[in-house]
Structure 1
Amino acid sequence: MWPFKHKELKEDGTVKHRKWLKRWLLGGWIIYASIAALTLAVVMVPAVRAQVGEWISDRLIRQTQTVSQERRVQEVSFEEPAPAPAKAEKPKEKPAAEKTEQVKQAPPEEFIVNELARPVSGIVINGYGNTYSEVYRDYRFHGGLDFAAEPGTAVLAALGGTVAEITENSYQGKTVTVDHGSGWQTKYTNLDQVQVSKGQTVAVGAVIGTVGKFTGDVKENHVHFALIHNGEPVNPTPYFDFN
């Protein structure tokens, strides 16, 4: 029985050895495979993660650029075109005839009364304003100055101008109106003879006429002088030098 028993034991050892070798090889492959897989994972995971991150970043950048371009297209489509700057037009030069006409139509310089020359050398016997009338024995408005003068005395122009009007009545005799421009006029009343004509230009101090025998509101013989501006009487007293 022994040999058979020994053979059986020997067979059993071989079987065990094979089983052990098979088990060792199989277990070692699994271990090596596990180690290799773990090593590969450790090596590859960061690279894969970096590749995935780069792909995601690139995708996001492309999406952002696309959205930006779409917004720009929308903004450009809704923007109104800016108006072109208007060209400054040069002023048209007026023809010479029109310029000449404008020069002709230029308003004259306004005349200003500075000083009046006395029409006669006599004194003032009746002033401007509300004065007492010896003829009517009451106070009434007197629109000028009465200068005492004998009949036949020469009456002189207080200002230079143009004879605008010559009138006559039985109460005041003859009246000469001289126009000085800018609404100013002087009037000389109680004249007997007139030595100027309508439209005539007279200089200051020129003879207008002579004093008549008309007294008007006062009893003494005189020449009535009036200063008019725009149809209204003006007190001439401040414009005379009585010194």
Structure 2
Amino acid sequence: MSRQIFLDTETTGLNPESGDRIVEIGCIEMVNRRLTGETRHVYLNPERKGNEEAIRIHGLTDAFLADKPKFAEVADDILGFLQGADVVIHNAAFDVGFLNAELKRLGRQPFHTVAARVTDTLLMARELFPGKANSLDALCKRLEVDNTHRTFHGALLDAGLLAEVYIRLTRGQDSLVIQADEARPGQTLAVPQLDLASFSLPVIAPDADDIAAHAAVLADLDKASGGKTVWRTLAA
């Protein structure tokens, strides 16, 4: 069984080493590339004032967070949910750095002792789209994931968007569903046999604009790889 947890956090600022804290955690579970409906979502009292720039991004004011639980009060539940999972995070170094800082305050073991593995979709995207913008918003636009309802950054909302982005990054199904497989144990699905020889596929020749656009893409890839692209060797 492949169990993944898509995780996102919101924070008071950018640097846990200078005392910035987590203010929101959102987690969504996926098993065998299907959402299970199991989630964890908490707002947290960071026990310090938030940074104005961060508040503009996530909209979580000091007044709103004042009566929310502290990280210590939810740590066991969150860590139990994450235990043994492949935790998928966009820009994992950021979120894991904050989680480790919170765990250190409690005298707990670091995050890598909880998760079976951490998968960073930012690193995945940089390999697939070198030289391109690879923020979560940019990936949603490129991979046609609807994020028009994302007025503020929110941990649970962003975890859900990340799950959809991940499926498309890994060339999986086009959308996520929460349902049982159509085939029950012991049953097989009938797949119709088609004679592909009966199909006549049109061949569309590229025009000058298509050829120029293709050359520009190859040039960008060549530049991003430092001139190490294979087609340069083949062409030579």
**TM-score of the superposed pair, with normalisation by structure 2:** 0.20
- Structure (1/2) with the larger helix percentage: 2
- Structure with larger RCO (C-alpha < 8 A, sep 6+): 2
Larger Rg: 1
